[in-house]
Amino acid sequence: MSANGAMAGAGSVKGWCPGALKPMQTGDGLIVRVRPRGGMLTPTQMLALCRIARTYGNGHIDLTRRANLQVRGVRNEVLPRVWAALADCGLIDTSAEAEAVRNVLVSPLAGLDPTEICDVRPIAAALEQELEQNQALWALPGKFGFVVDGGGLLALNEERADICLKAIRTGSGDAAIAVGIDAPGVTEWLALVEQRAAHAAAVDVAIAFLSVSRGEQRARMRDLGAGAIAQLKRLLPASLQSVSELRFDLISSSGNSIGAITAQGRSIAVGLGLPFGRIKSDRLETLVAEASSLGIHELRLSPWRVLYVPVECMRDGETLSDVAASCGFITGPRHPLMAIDACPGKSACVSGFIDTRSIAHAFAEAMPMAGISSVHVSGCGKGCARSKPADVVLVGTPSGIGVIRNGAASDAPHTIVALDDVARLPALVKSGA
């Protein structure tokens, strides 16, 4: 394996995501991010990752917004040992370049959910393989991503991606795959293809994107203007130009993403939330050991910071939920902490001005609040934990906690609250200040 660029420019380069072979330098050491294939991993792989976090990192595992797992606080000198441990359990790519472009988000219940339109795991696997092996695709920008969505209970309707493959039901009742691109504000659907042709269609669109973006490393699909989009479409094969206006209704997902997941009268999985996307590795090990003892052979990752454990009966789900609750997972729906994004803050990041997690916990005690469904607590204006706007943003500044309504961490605060006045924040927000 090569680790080209593992250290070069780490921490100073923007517009790319860390990987395992190309970790990113932060205030608390390196971030080593692992992309499990198909968004799933075995208990053995998860236990290996826990050991890495405990031995070489800060002892925590983070579940990211792209359904990846990461370990923070890793030192440069232990990287070869981390890579060897990841290689031993099949969690590493053959090159940093392949790893960087293998950015595929898959429905977390693919193949488990009897209400899904089709099982998209083969499409995702074929696409990941193509991204790994087709070196022409390695020129894609660092954050360029794909969504492969089979629909069903936990459809990925809210997840943006440069290229989207979405299962839909045709008029004849068959499953087909809609191929879409991320235009400003919407997904523009280009064509319908058969399931077996879907991964190749995504590759065709990616190659066309590279032609029109001319290798600009930070360009994303949504950055292309109307002329470039028209040019991209002209470069596609005829099979992807056959539909001039493809419209369909997205079937909304159940929204029941935490706790017991049932479909057609039977248990299929249990969803376990990680507060702020983080769990201590020893607690995760306890949960995984319990899952293994129940004969469970895989764990599924989601982009909304919920881990899914497939179960075949309600009793196994209840057993896992009880163990997970004792380990610090969120096991019930509508928990206020799941509405809050918070970066590690000043305890872990040199850029942080505030202790984000304690402020988030204090704010959660005042929730639910009318009209507030998303809160972002950010250690500084960079806003690492959330790219989308939130109903309320509490952001660290040199002079205190900035309060922003309906905005992002980089926006100018409406009000600054002194650090020793945190208890006043909920009342201030409720008053609309």
Residues binding ligand SF4 (CB under 6 A): 343-345, 349, 351-352, 378-380, 382-384
Nearer to ligand SF4, 206 or 393 (CB): 393
CB of 389 to ligand SF4, least distance (A): 15
Nearer to ligand SF4, 28 or 312 (CB): 28
Nearer to ligand SF4, 73 or 345 (CB): 345
Q: Closest residue to ligand SF4, Cβ-based?
A: 379
Nearer to ligand SF4, 235 or 408 (CB): 408
C-alpha to C-alpha distance for 165 and 240, rounded to whole angstroms: 13
Nearer to ligand SF4, 107 or 378 (CB): 378
C-alpha to C-alpha distance for 168 and 271, rounded to whole angstroms: 25
CB of 22 to ligand SF4, least distance (A): 19
Question: Can you read off the two tokens belonging to residue 306?
Answer: 């919920």
Q: What are the residue ranges of helices labelled H in 8-106?
A: 43-56, 79-88, 96-101
CB of 64 to ligand SF4, least distance (A): 12
- Coil, strand or helix at 95: strand
CB of 219 to ligand SF4, least distance (A): 23
241 DSSP assignment: S
CB of 69 to ligand SF4, least distance (A): 17
130, 163, 181, 190, 241 from 245: Cα distances, Å? 28, 17, 13, 8, 10
389 touches 370 (CB < 8 A): no
Nearer to ligand SF4, 62 or 116 (CB): 62
- Which residues sit opposite 299 in a β-bridge? 41
CB of 171 to ligand SF4, least distance (A): 47
Nearer to ligand SF4, 41 or 409 (CB): 409
CB of 28 to ligand SF4, least distance (A): 9
Considering only CA atoms, give the Rg of the chain: 22
79 touches 21 (CB < 8 A): no
198, 208, 227 from 235: Cα distances, Å? 17, 6, 13
- Which residues sit opposite 272 in a β-bridge? 307
